[in-house]
Amino acid sequence: MHVDGRCHCGYVTFKGEVDPEEVSICHCTDCQDISGSAFRVNVPVAAENFRIIAGEPAIYVKHSAESGKPRENAFCPRCGSALYAAPHGPETGILMLRVGALRQRDQLQPRAQNWVRSAQSWMRDRLPIPKNEKI
């Protein structure tokens, strides 16, 4: 599915190709901390299927992910909107687009929940979709 998105102020715009069956909710504490919410909704996109159209996102590198690998978190340097996360460094692969930044977000229904062990107690049994303790 073709998607396009932007930050809140419109400085950064992007597009990509995603599989709507891969949309997930992440309850990890990193997503809670960095989003200011109880969870975040993500959809993976292969790096070769993603392109920044305008603007230049700022990058914050999280060095202590549970995997031991650093992760880049991209956001708009003007309005602070979260855009995606990606492997840090020369490694390419899968980016996790923040569904809230996508114009097609109403068509991207979560199919799974990840890191449920970190979910807020009031969210654990709210959604009738598969749950993964970690990923």
Can you give the residue ranges of every domain in the chain? Answer: 2-118
By mean pLDDT, which of 1-5, 16-20, 90-94 is the weakest?
90-94
Residue 42 has a pLDDT of: 97
Cα three-residue angle 135-120-39, rounded to 5 degrees: 60
The pLDDT tens digits of the residues spanning 55-100 come to 999 999 988 766 678 889 999 999 999 999 998 877 778 999 999 9
Q: pLDDT category, 127, cuts 50, 70, 90? A: confident
The pLDDT tens digits of the residues spanning 26-36 come to 999 999 998 99
Sorted by sequence, the CB contacts under 8 Å of residue 43 that are 6+ apart come out as 3, 18, 19, 20, 22, 23, 24, 96, 97, 99, 102, 108
Residue 47 has a pLDDT of: 94
For the four alpha carbons of 15, 71, 78 and 22, in that order, the dihedral sign comes to positive
With respect to CATH, is domain 2-118 assigned 2.170.150.70? Answer: yes
